[in-house]
Amino acid sequence: MNPSIVNQTLVKFLTRLPEARSDIRPPPVPVPQRMRGALETLAELTGDPSFSGKDAMCSLNFSCVSPEICKIQVKTRESYAKDAAQAFSPLQSNGRPIRWVETPLDPIWIWSTPRLASPAFIVSADGCA
């Protein structure tokens, strides 16, 4: 499908929709107060009153993971991270994605045969795609 047709169809669809306001309204209850209420609810749900005394603005205080499980997760993450530098990455060393460019096999046939091309990496001398 032609991208131009898709764009035209999307624009026509969006122009038919009624206009809607998207004003951002602040919540009626301040964030610290809502977070405090969330910690109290967590304390009720888990039956652990120690949640009520924690800092509500720290997301780590909402964790219900036991210290033993946390240690196991840290060890697992460390074992996966030790070989992370050798893992495949779709990004180059400069952080840009690898570019795939279709190059013709034979320049003579470029106009007469539409799909005589093979994917190839195009990387300049400085390593940038």
Round to whole Å and give the CA distance between 61 and 102: 51
Q: State CA 60 to chain mean position distance.
A: 21
Q: What is the band of 45 on the pLDDT scale with cuts at 50, 70, 90?
A: very high
Q: What is the pLDDT of residues 94-118, one digit of tens each?
A: 888 877 665 555 555 555 545 544 4
In this structure, are residues 13 and 35 in contact, taking their beta carbons and an 8 Å threshold? no
Whole-number pLDDT of residue 75: 94
Q: Are 54 and 46 in contact (CB under 8 A)?
A: no
Residue 14 has pLDDT above 70, yes or no: yes
pLDDT in tens, 78-95: 998 888 888 888 888 888
Please give the DSSP secondary-structure letter assigned to residue 97.
B
> In what helix (H) or strand (E) does residue 102 lie, and over which residues does it extend?
strand 100-104
- What's the average model confidence in pLDDT over 11-20? 91
Task: Give the residue-averaged pLDDT of 48-52.
Answer: 89
What sign does the CA torsion over 103, 105, 108, 110 have?
A: negative
